[in-house]
A and B are shown apart, each in its own frame.
Chain A
Amino acid sequence: MSLTGTPGPAPDHSAHPAPAHTAPPARALPGGGESHRHVLVAIVLNKPGVLNRVASLMRARNFNIETLAVSHTDQPEVSRMTITLRGDDVAIEQAAKQLYRLIDVLKVQDVTGEPTVEHEIALMKVRADERNRGEVLTIAEMHKARVVDLAAESLIVEATGTEAEVDALIALLRGFGIKELVRSGTVVMSRGAGSIEEAVKR
């Protein structure tokens, strides 16, 4: 056996006979599955620095947050985060478990695929003058969006809906020229009587 050759010697599998009753080797790596969008709801203590802890953890563990929305809940000591991110099921489960390790995190739930109400709000400043204003207004109206500011050269459209609905409206208005765009990030709530906050109430 050589010590210096960079490619090591061929693995000597004969030394490790397979027990007769088991199947041939195939140890799967965790997280080889298909990547898709997940929505996590985290109930956290309303303390200074909690947002930093969550963001820092996601960065350190190599999860890429797509949207993050934080707000108070009806309990003054508790805040709620809605995090959307992409990954396979195993990776997202790992993200949720890592979040649980934070002392200030009370509950984490992956609501992907559950019946939920999911919304975000977007404001778009769209280039529109007297020639095409009507067209923009029609598109906005058909998407149940509101015009909240009107100027000679532009107007601001306020849209609410799921990420996909907002994406669709943006795609349509892009043709007119979007001067500015801001999106709040998704907020989500499970349908029905169950409550994630109820579970952490004391």
Chain B
Amino acid sequence: MGTKEDDSGRTQTAATTTATASAAAPTASAAAGTSPAAAPGDGPPGAGGARGRRERINHMPGAGTARAEAISAGRREMLSDAHRNQIRSLAERGVKRPRIGADAICEAVLRQGVDVFFGYPGGVVLPFYDVLVDYPELRHILVRHEQGGAHAADGYARATGKVGVCLATSGPGATNLVTGIGNAMLDSIPIVAITGNVVGSLLGKDAFQEIDITGITLPCTKHNYLVRDPNDIPRVFAEAFHIARTGRPGPVHIDLTKDALMGVCSAEHPETVDLPGFKPTFEGHFRQIKLAAQEIARAERPVILAGHGVLIADATEELRELAEKAQIPVAHTLLGVSAIDETHPLSLGFVGMHGWKHVNRTIQSADLLIALGMRFDDRVTGHVPTFAPYARIVHVDIDPAEIGKNVAVEIPIVGDVKRVLMALLPQVEPVAPERRAAYLREIDEWRAESEQASWHGSGAWRNGQLSADYVVAKIGQASGHDATIVADVGQNQMWAARYAGFRRPKSHISSGGLGTMGFGLPAAMGAAIGRPDKETWAIVGDGGLQMTVQELMTLVQDNIPVKIALLDNHKLGMVRQWQELVYAGNYHSSHLLGPDWCKLAEAYGVAAFRATTPEEVEGAIAAARAVDGPALVHFVIAEQQNVFPMMPAGKGLSDLLEEQFEEPKQ
């Protein structure tokens, strides 16, 4: 039975044979078989003597065959500069050098409107770096670790809505990208990750720095490609960018063999792509939309739950219109932060495991949940059987596979959130504020209670040390709630989402699905490059910063003005919190030492400031903002502070733990 694998095997062999047939011809005799005409003195020591001349042995498996010659040629090509000299000498003589695969990549990326990418060179991608000088309009940021490159592309994509691009060499370069690719997959971020690989004829030979990277990225990309022919590059890149940004966005990985990068490319860039298996649904079904409008008209306690999809679809205006027209309060998920201006009277706040208690109470008492562009993650729902027990659910998502995956819903609508809302809005009956007065008043009472319990009761001090939520709120205020705030993962992430105060769409960037520690700094780097018109803050913990701290050097080399707020509690704070609340205070491996952060930052050439008391906070933030370039503020915060409220694992949104303040305020 002819399987795909059979086909693949056959195609590969055929391609190798054709590609090398002409090259093999002139040199075939040199390497072919055993050579009886070995030169005298060429033999092994002592080979003269009585035994006479020995025959030389060629150890190349299958020596003499076209396949063996192709492998030999491939090995030569891995180190050879002949090809390079050939094209460069043409250029020196004023002759237009041939266009190679690497050129096609630069052209393709520029055609897609990308003018910056994050990369790290290495053996097999050198042909690419060799031509990069001919594309001055394409800015290359040399990161210090490939993971940083992937996260930076991710941050760039989130801040701009454009496709982020990162590049790495084969082997370890490629595997280092994987965390960043996985992160983009879980959060639906459009990035194109480019890797080099060994020469095509050496694939499968475990050549130096060869790894089956397309096999590795297969389950954590939206799609991936292995390109062996330079003439495939224009088509593949056009498809990759289209797939990455269309429908539910996601990462696309393109692996290119070294000979595909070096080979002459004559193919033109296509104007359109032909992907018969990729046809996302954008328009919601009119009947479902009509049903949703009827549900909204009937509902007494409706809530909108806005997710990342609202931001991706650029539907924040439509969201606000719907909320105002039908007087529906808007809650948001972690990745939905900044989908609505938090000062809007109908903005409810952050939902879920560490969400505001009044938000979770509203969800739990709602009779209609309008879920827009979100996927009912377990951090949002908690124990599903007790989630929103009185609510009927309208679920709008562009990915049909999200409908009914985690939560059974009454009215599914598959489509782009913006287009669905545009179709829904005219059908929604305007609701007078008086009709919701009692409902909204009750929420306001809950909100007052919840804010008192979660934060405002605690003030700027915790256990005689600086309180993290105070610091985050001050950063939000100082930047006029207009800066892009990029969080790392853990307590700092929850504090950033809860207390910074977001008003501008896409001003909040956070690693939601994968929860990647070390994300903050490199992602902020990408965000700052993508939106140079906006101030960029990275709010990171001391654990996460130690994972990707080397990118400080990138900030300096490329003068990327990221301001880093390091919330240093000498702890893996969220781990410590779980150990306190779930593992009976067994604090194993959650206490971690860090360097002298200010000295470290200064060693990198990054301006550094320290704040240990509430009085110093505003001054330190102002000092960092005044620096023309990157700066770090080392906030020494309370070691024991937890993020509250907290939904214990396996419990529901009604079971939140709240903090008790035993300590008198200082």
Contacts and interface: CB of A to CB of B under 8 A. Distances in A.
Nearest to A96: B401
A6 B584 contact: yes
Contacts of B222: 101, 103
A13 B657 CA distance: 14
Contacts of B399: 101
B4 A4 contact: no
Interface in B1-56: 1-5, 7-8, 11-12
A131 interface: no
Nearest to B406: A30
A69 interface: yes
Nearest to B362: A16
A8 B651 contact: yes
Contacts of B405: 30, 94
Interface stretch (B114-122, B130-138, B271-279): B271-279
Given A6-B582, A16-B364, A101-B222, 5 more contacts: A1-B660, A16-B654, A49-B4, A72-B2, A103-B277
B447 to A, nearest CB: 14
B365 A52 contact: no
Contact of B400 (A11, A12, A30, A97): A97
Interface stretch (B147-155, B385-393, B509-517, B527-535): B385-393
A22 B581 CA distance: 36
Interface of B: 1-5, 7-8, 11-12, 214-215, 218-219, 222-223, 226, 243, 275-278, 300-301, 361, 364-365, 367, 384-390, 399-401, 403-408, 580-582, 584-585, 642, 648, 651-652, 654-655, 657-660
A9 B399 CA distance: 37
A165 to B, nearest CB: 20
A104 B277 CA distance: 5
Interface in A23-57: 24-30, 44-53, 56-57
A51 B4 contact: yes
Given A15-B361, A52-B218, A105-B277, A26 B389 contact: yes
Instruction: Decide if the interface of chain A is mainly helix, strand, loop or mixed.
Output: loop
A111 B160 CA distance: 44
Interface of A: 1, 3-4, 6, 8-9, 11-13, 15-19, 21-22, 24-30, 44-53, 56-57, 60, 69-72, 79, 90, 93-94, 97-98, 100-106, 184, 200, 202
A3 B218 contact: no
8 contacts: A19-B365, A27-B388, A30-B405, A51-B5, A60-B219, A69-B1, A90-B408, A94-B404
Nearest to B367: A19
Given A4-B585, A27-B388, A184-B1, A48 B361 contact: no
Nearest to A18: B390
A18 B654 CA distance: 13
Contacts of B2: 70-72
Contact of A106 (B215, B276, B655): B276
A25 B390 contact: yes
Given A11-B655, A16-B365, A19-B390, A48 B1 contact: no
A1 B406 contact: no
Contacts of B277: 44-45, 102-106
A66 B462 CA distance: 58
Contacts of B278: 103
Nearest to B655: A11
A13 B1 contact: no
A192 to B, nearest CB: 25
Contact of B654 (A13, A93, A94): A13
B218 A53 contact: yes
B1 A71 contact: yes
